[in-house]
Amino acid sequence: MEQKQFDKIVDQQTPKTPLFVNMLKAFLVGGIICTIGQLITFFYIRFFPFTERTAANPTVATMVFIAMILTGTGLYKKISQIGGAGSAVPVTGFGNAVISASIEHKPEGYVLGIGGNMFKLAGSVIVFGVVSAFFVALIKTILVKLGVVSW
C-alpha cells in the first residue's frame, strides 16, 4: 500500500474534529477564567489597600491557588475536558501543571516524588518566562536610554 492510499484510508476513518465548537468552548472557558480573575482583582482593590497596578500579584497567586485546589479535587480536569486550551492558557494552567505532576508522583514519596517532580512541566514555563522578561526589560532599557520611549 502506498502512502497516498494509506493517508486516504486514515482520513476516511478518522472522526472529524468539531473545530469551531472546540474553539468556542475554549474561548468561553478561558473568558470565564479571566472574568473570575478580574473579579478577584476588583475584590483586592475594593477591600485591601491595592491599586490596579499592585493588585495583579495577589490576583495571580489567588488564581493559581484556586487552580491547585480544583486540580486536587479533580474538578479542573473536568473543566479542561470541556474548555481544552481555554483552561490551559490562563495562569490557572500553571497551577494545574504543578499540582498534576505532584499528584502523579505522590507514591514515590514527598522528597523524590512530589518535590522532585513538582516543577517537571512548570519548570520550563518558569525558565522561559524569566528569560523572556529579561530580554523585554533589556530592550525597554535600551529604548529608554536612546530616548525612543519614556520611562
How crowded is residue 77: how many other Cβ atoms within 10 Å of its Cβ?
13
pLDDT score at 138? 96
pLDDT score at 43? 97
Give this prediction's pTM: 0.70
**Are residues 118 and 71 in contact, defined by beta-carbon separation less than 8 angstroms?**
no
pLDDT score at 47? 97
pLDDT score at 116? 78
pLDDT score at 108? 83
Name which of 149, 130, 129 is nearest 139 in CA terms. 149
Low-confidence residues of the chain, pLDDT below 70? none
pLDDT score at 97? 81
**Are residues 30 and 86 in contact, defined by beta-carbon separation less than 8 angstroms?**
yes
pLDDT score at 24? 95
Tell me how many helices (H) and strands (E) the chain has. Answer: 8, 0
